[in-house]
């Protein structure tokens, strides 16, 4: 069970989220702040109603949003979320014996209070979410599958739309027969007898069929779009979630390559929302058309029956070539994107070194490959296209040729011949796009394959994993015999590392470059997992903790500082679920952000460009430090946090940090003597093991040579 009091105080959640957690815990389901955080979207960062429903469903609740009158709420519907005016949300808890309504209102505290129905009626918007515990935890009926295959389950959720598409296409195909039959009847029956009345009736009939056909085609396009749009939202979201939750070890390839894989979702989506799909539905109807030709023209059906296999054979032969070209096209796209992303992100360095030459060569290489593959792909497609066109025309000529002989022998009528020519045209029409369809299918397949690999890569939140909940921790950190080797590296980075940091202790980790100091921070944050041994927080192996809970407890400044585009305030706020303004300002003060924003016009609202460009290294470190401090986490993990600051600024930051973190467990990786004043104990790491561990004074006992080796001077 969640301790609501501490949660709401610590993170200051908005009403909807607090109420949601409240409802879940009263239904004996739990919703973690981490999952709320993950569900939040939109610029405002607020939880929207659909996302709130999704979070509830993920936690094993059925939730339904709708209009309810207040009088319809009785005890069986409790607990329910009621939406009030002014964006307030309360939880309905039933009615008291005196008939008053029991309400949990997050803005009034944790108690459940009684209100008169009239008073509630005045502010109630009429909309509510009602809940029920799901029997099984899967979300079959929700329409928003979160379990199951990322792609097929979303498609399956749309099966009704796709069924409608197939149905509409089938009827359209049947209606397509009407024109040919019309012409046949006119030639054979109407013309010889000059039966004008029949002609009028027939024309009206065929006209109606055409109109119906037109309407169906419009509907069909609508169905496909609708299905695509829904699938798009669900799948797009899941792909992004997977990207964010991906284990660091499953990150393969360059940034650009990965971005390009994700972008290929477009290709896949386009396939399922385009005319290509319709062309596929039309294929089986070729058989029907040939059968009808047989009915009206008898042996004439032989001609299309021979032409179809010819075209299909072309497709069959082209298929493996097109498939290979699609794969190549995909990897060409990836390498192009990789070069592009790498170049754009390193523009300053590339300009000032001779790297431009290298990048240009790579770029041109990628372009060349793509264009040569493109030429081959187009050649194959064009050949298949021309051959199909040729076969179509030849079939029509042949049918006329053969038909004349049949008529001469008294085996057919003029009308039947004309109808057969028309039907042959129709039968072969879906094959006309066979080459393009094949190309599209292959592209979609290769996109699917690559995305599927990404979606199946190991993820930090495997489905069905049960986490130990740890909303707030003491701050005890233990490394026990940790062995760790980076993926695809031969040598172990950490080999049997052990240490224990008590709550509230302040420790510096020292060591020569490449000794594994930053690796220790990554393991502690659960970004990587040790091959053997364990990393523990408060005596629990961190593999059992929700990564969100874990990282919320640890305020971190990583060695490579990453800031995103947005204001300084946004960047600091991103350290927390929902920081208050005064927390941001407080953190900014300690970290020294105020020192450089004070004399700028924008202050905290100064807009940074990507990765914090436009700020100096030290300023970026200040912001990152403020981001780490904003939630006042029980643990601070700082990897060379002041390495780019000048001595004076650093001294001020250290001074303020010291005052603000008396109870905090602090782990600092550093080479700076100045930072040692923050700590009481040092751990020296060498060759992946602890080579010295003790109070600060051990440094003074080291020989001068050792000290120089560690890059620290005696303090
Ligand atoms: P430092 O003590 O300087 O912070 P690190 O912990 O960053 O050292 O790195 C320790 C060793 O691990 C280095 O030899 C480095 O080559 C290797 N290493 C660091 N990060 C990675 C990575 N992402 N993949 C592979 N090897 C890495
Ligand atoms: Mg490092």
Per-residue pLDDT tens digits for 175-232: 888 888 888 888 888 888 888 888 898 899 999 998 988 888 888 878 777 777 777 7
Taking only the tens place, the pLDDT of each residue in 599-611 is 777 788 888 887 7
493 lines ligand 1 (CB under 6 A): yes
CB of 486 closer than 6 angstroms to any ligand 1 atom: yes
Residue 702: what are its φ and ψ, rounded to 5°? -65, 150
Q: Which two tokens stand for residue 98?
A: 């005196």
- Predicted confidence at residue 665, as pLDDT, reads 93
What's the pLDDT tens digit per position in 566-575?
A: 888 888 888 7
* Cα gap 247→230, rounded to integer Å: 28
What is the average per-residue pLDDT within 289-311?
86
Q: Looking at ligand 1, which atom is closest to the CA of residue 519?
A: 6
**Ligand 2 centre distance from Cα of residue 574 (Å):** 23
Mean confidence (pLDDT) of the chain = 83
3-state SS class at 153: helix
Phi-psi region of 303 (alpha: psi -120 to 50; beta: other; left: phi over 0): alpha
Q: How far does residue 197's CA lie from ligand 2's centre (Å)?
A: 92
Identify any residues that bridge with 684 across adjacent strands, giving them in sequence order: 510, 692
Report how far ligand 1's centroid is from the alpha carbon of 465 (Å).
Answer: 30
Sign of CA pseudo-dihedral 326, 328, 334, 340: negative
Q: Which atom of ligand 1 is nearest to the CA of 522?
A: 6
518 lines ligand 1 (CB under 6 A): yes
- Ligand 1 pocket test, pick from 493, 667, 669, 671 with the greatest ligand atom count within 8 Å of Cβ, gives 493
More confident residue, 465 or 55: 55
Whether 521 is in the pocket of ligand 1, judged by its Cβ within 6 Å, is no
Pocket test for ligand 1, best of 491, 511, 515 (most atoms within 8 A of CB): 515
CB 460 within 8 A of CB 547: yes
Q: Which protein residue's CA is at the shortest distance from atom 16 of ligand 1?
A: 514
**Which of 248, 255, 514, 670 is the pocket-test mutation for ligand 1 (most atoms within 8 Å of CB)?**
514
Give the DSSP letter string of 27-74.
TT----HHHHHHH--STT-PPPHHHHHHHHHHTTEEEEEEE--GGG--
Sheet architecture: strand order including 540-541:
494-501, 477-484, 532-537, 540-541
Percent of the chain predicted with pLDDT > 90: 13
Q: Rounded to whole angstroms, how far apart are CA atoms 243 and 252? A: 12
pLDDT of 193 reads 85
Residue 524 has pLDDT above 50, yes or no: yes
Integer Cα distance of 281 and 565 in angstroms: 46
Q: What is the pLDDT confidence band of residue 480, given thresholds at 50, 70 and 90? A: very high
Our mutation pick for probing the ligand 1 site, out of 252, 483, 489, counting the most ligand atoms within 8 A of Cβ, is 489
Side-chain-facing half-sphere of 228: CA atoms under 13 Å: 19
Residue 65 token pair: 């949003």
- Which of ligand 1's atoms lies nearest the C-alpha of 520? 6
Mutate to test the pocket of ligand 1, among 484, 516, 690, 709 (most ligand atoms within 8 A of CB): 516
Q: What's the 653 CA to ligand 2 centre distance in angstroms?
A: 21
Q: What is the pLDDT of residue 477?
A: 92
Query: Could you say which DSSP state residue 679 is in?
Result: -
pLDDT recorded at residue 669:
92
Beta bridge partners of 555: 636
Higher pLDDT, 260 or 144: 260
Q: Is the pLDDT of residue 141 over 70?
A: no
pLDDT digits 0-9 by tens, 151-188: 888 888 778 888 888 888 888 888 888 888 888 888 88
Is residue 333 scored above 80 in pLDDT? yes
* Cβ atoms of residues 44 and 114 within 8 Å: no
Cα of 683 from ligand 2 centre, angstroms: 15
Q: Is 487 in the pocket of ligand 1 (CB under 6 A)?
A: no
CB 621 within 8 A of CB 609: no
CB atoms within 10 A of CB 236: 15
**What is the structure's pLDDT at 505?**
92
Q: In this structure, which ligand is nearest to the CA of 251? A: 1
Q: Does the Cβ of 670 fall within 6 Å of ligand 1?
A: no
Please report, for residues 2, 209, 363, 528, 714, the alpha-carbon distance to residue 512 in angstroms, rounded to integers and kept in the order given: 43, 83, 38, 21, 16
Which candidate, 287, 276, 273, places its Cα nearest to that of 173? 287
Structure tokens, 596: 């450089």
Q: Whose C-alpha lies nearest to ligand 1, atom 26?
A: 486
pLDDT in tens, 93-137: 888 777 788 888 888 776 778 888 888 888 899 899 988 876 544
Whether 311 and 428 have beta carbons less than 8 Å apart is answered as yes
Range among 85-89, 233-237, 467-471 with highest mean pLDDT value? 85-89
Taking the CA of residue 513 as reference, the ligand 1 atom at the shortest distance is 3
For ligand 1, pick from 250, 253, 486 the residue to mutate: most ligand atoms within 8 Å of CB: 486
Does residue 41 come out as left (phi exceeding 0), alpha (psi in the -120 to 50 range) or beta?
A: beta
Q: In percent, how much of the chain has pLDDT > 70? A: 91
Q: Is the CB of 511 under 6 A from ligand 1?
A: yes
Distance in angstroms (rounded) separating the CA atoms of residues 181 and 222: 29
Of ligand 1's listed atoms, the one at least distance from the Cα of 248 is 23
Ligand 1: nearest atom to the Cα of 511 = 2
What's the pLDDT at 714? 43
- Whole-angstrom distance, CA of residue 71 vs CA of residue 79: 15
Span from the CA of 506 to the centroid of ligand 2 (angstroms)? 19
Nearest CA to ligand 1 atom 27: 486
The pLDDT assigned to 545 comes to 85
Tokens 């999952």, residue? 35
pLDDT beyond 90 at 668: yes
Pick from 109-118, 347-356, 497-506, 584-593 the range whose average pLDDT is largest: 497-506
pLDDT at 143 over 60: no
What pLDDT shows up at residue 639? Answer: 92
Confidence of residue 144 (pLDDT cuts 50, 70, 90): very low
Q: What is the pTM of this model?
A: 0.72
> 511 CA to middle of ligand 1, Å?
13
- Is 517's C-beta closer than 6 angstroms to any atom of ligand 1? yes
Q: What is the pLDDT of residues 349-385, one digit of tens each?
A: 888 888 888 889 999 998 998 888 888 888 888 888 8
Task: Supply the residue whose CA is at minimum distance from atom 18 of ligand 1.
Answer: 486
Atom 19 in ligand 1: residue holding the nearest Cα = 519
Radius of gyration for the alpha carbons in the chain, expressed in angstroms and rounded: 35
Q: Which ligand is nearest to the CA of 558?
A: 2
Among 519, 523, 640, which residue has the most ligand 1 atoms within 8 Å of its CB, making it the best to mutate? 519
- The predicted model gives 60-85 an average pLDDT of 85
Beta bridge partners of 508: 668, 682
| Closest C-alpha residue for ligand 1 atom 4 | 518
Query: What is the distance of C-alpha 647 from the center of its chain?
Result: 43
Confidence of residue 44 (pLDDT cuts 50, 70, 90): low
| Ligand 2 center–CA 696 separation, angstroms | 21
Q: Exposed, middle or buried by CB within 10 Å (0-12, 13-18, 19+), for 504?
A: middle
Q: Is there a contact between 667 and 636 (Cβ–Cβ < 8 Å)? A: yes
Q: Report the distance separating Cα 93 and Cα 169, nearest Å.
A: 51
Rounded-to-integer distance, Cα 324 and Cα 445, Å: 11
Which residue's CA is the closest to the ligand 1 atom numbered 13?
514
Specify the residue for token string 């600091």: 572
Give me the pLDDT at residue 12, please: 57
> Which run of H or E residues covers position 537?
strand 532-537
Q: pLDDT at position 208, please?
A: 92
Question: Dihedral (C-alpha) 570, 572, 573, 577: value to the nearest 10 degrees?
Answer: 140
Compute the distance from residue 698 Cα to the ligand 2 centre, in Å.
Answer: 22
User: What mean pLDDT do residues 442-464 have?
Assistant: 85
CB-ligand 1 contact for 489 (6 Å cutoff): yes
Top-confidence range, 270-274, 296-300, 687-691: 687-691
Ligand 1, atom 5, lies closest to the CA of 516
Which ligand lies nearest the alpha carbon of 639? Answer: 2
Ligand 1, atom 22, residue with closest C-alpha: 486
Top pLDDT among 67 and 464 is at 67
């Amino acid at each position: 069970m969640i301790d609501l009091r501490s949660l709401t105080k610590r993170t200051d959640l908005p009403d909807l989220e607090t109420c949601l957690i409240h409802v879940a815990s009263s239904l004996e389901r739990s919703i973690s702040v981490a999952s709320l955080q993950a569900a939040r979207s939109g610029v405002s960062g607020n939880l929207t109603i659909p996302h709130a429903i999704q979070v509830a469903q993920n936690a094993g609740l059925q939730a339904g949003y709708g209009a309810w009158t207040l009088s319809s709420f009785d005890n069986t519907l409790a607990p329910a979320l009621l939406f009030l005016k002014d964006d307030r949300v309360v939880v309905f808890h039933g009615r008291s014996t005196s008939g008053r309504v029991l309400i949990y209102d997050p803005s009034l505290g944790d108690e459940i209070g009684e209100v008169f129905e009239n008073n509630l009626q005045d502010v109630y918007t009429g909309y509510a979410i009602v809940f029920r515990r799901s029997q099984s935890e899967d979300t079959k009926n929700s329409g928003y599958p979160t379990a199951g295959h990322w792609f097929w389950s979303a498609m399956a959720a749309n099966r009704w739309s796709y069924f409608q598409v197939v149905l509409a296409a089938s009827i359209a195909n049947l209606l397509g027969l009407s024109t040919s039959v019309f012409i046949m009847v006119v030639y054979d029956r109407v013309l010889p007898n000059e039966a004008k009345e029949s002609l009028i009736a027939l024309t009206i009939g065929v006209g109606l069929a055409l109109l119906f056909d037109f309407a169906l085609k419009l509907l069909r396009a609508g169905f496909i779009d609708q299905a695509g749009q829904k699938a798009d939202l669900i799948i797009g979201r899941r792909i992004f979630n997977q990207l964010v939750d991906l284990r660091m070890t499953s990150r393969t390839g360059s940034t650009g390559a990965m971005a390009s894989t994700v972008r290929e979702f477009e290709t896949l989506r386009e396939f399922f929302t385009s005319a290509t799909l319709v062309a596929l539905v039309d294929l089986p109807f070729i058989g029907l058309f040939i059968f009808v030709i047989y009915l009206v023209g008898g042996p004439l059906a032989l001609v299309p029956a021979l032409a179809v296999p010819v075209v299909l054979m072309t497709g069959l032969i082209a298929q493996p070539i097109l498939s290979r070209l699609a794969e190549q096209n995909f990897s060409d796209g990836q390498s192009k994107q990789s070069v592009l992303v790498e170049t754009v992100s390193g523009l300053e360095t590339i300009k000032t070194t001779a790297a431009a030459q290298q990048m240009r060569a790579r770029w041109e290489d990628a372009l060349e490959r793509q264009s040569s593959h493109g030429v081959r792909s187009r050649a194959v497609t064009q050949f298949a296209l021309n051959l199909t066109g040729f076969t179509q025309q030849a079939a029509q000529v042949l049918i006329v040729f053969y038909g004349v002989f049949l008529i001469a022998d008294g085996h057919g009528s003029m009308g039947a011949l004309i109808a057969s020519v028309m039907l042959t045209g129709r039968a072969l029409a879906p094959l006309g796009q066979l080459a393009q369809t094949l190309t599209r299918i292959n592209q979609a397949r290769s996109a699917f394959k690559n995305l599927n690999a990404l979606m199946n890569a190991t993820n930090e939140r495997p489905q069905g994993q049960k986490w130990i909940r740890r909303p707030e921790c003491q701050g005890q950190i233990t490394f026990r015999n940790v062995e760790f080797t980076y993926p695809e590296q031969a040598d172990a980075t950490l080999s049997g590392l052990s240490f224990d940091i008590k709550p509230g202790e302040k420790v510096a980790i020292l060591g020569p470059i490449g000794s594994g100091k930053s690796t220790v921070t990554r393991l502690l944050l659960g970004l990587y997992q040790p091959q053997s041994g364990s990393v523990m927080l408060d005596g629990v192996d961190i593999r059992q903790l929700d990564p969100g809970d874990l990282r919320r407890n640890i305020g971190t400044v990583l060695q490579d500082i990453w800031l995103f585009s947005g204001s300084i305030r946004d960047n600091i706020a991103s350290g927390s679920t929902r920081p208050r303004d005064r927390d941001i300002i407080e953190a900014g003060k300690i970290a020294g952000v105020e020192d450089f924003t004070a004399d700028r016009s924008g202050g905290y609202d100064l807009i940074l460009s990507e990765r914090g460009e436009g700020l100096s290294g030290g300023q970026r470190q200040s912001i990152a430090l403020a981001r780490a401090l904003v939630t006042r986490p029980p643990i601070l993990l700082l990897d060379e946090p002041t390495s780019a600051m000048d001595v004076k600024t650093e001294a001020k930051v250290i001074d303020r940090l010291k005052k603000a973190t008396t109870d905090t467990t602090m782990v600092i990786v550093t080479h700076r003597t100045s930072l040692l004043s923050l700590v009481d104990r040092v751990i020296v790491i060498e060759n992946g093991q602890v080579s010295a561990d003790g109070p600060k004074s051990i440094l003074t006992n080291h020989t001068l040579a050792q000290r120089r080796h560690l890059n620290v001077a005696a303090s």
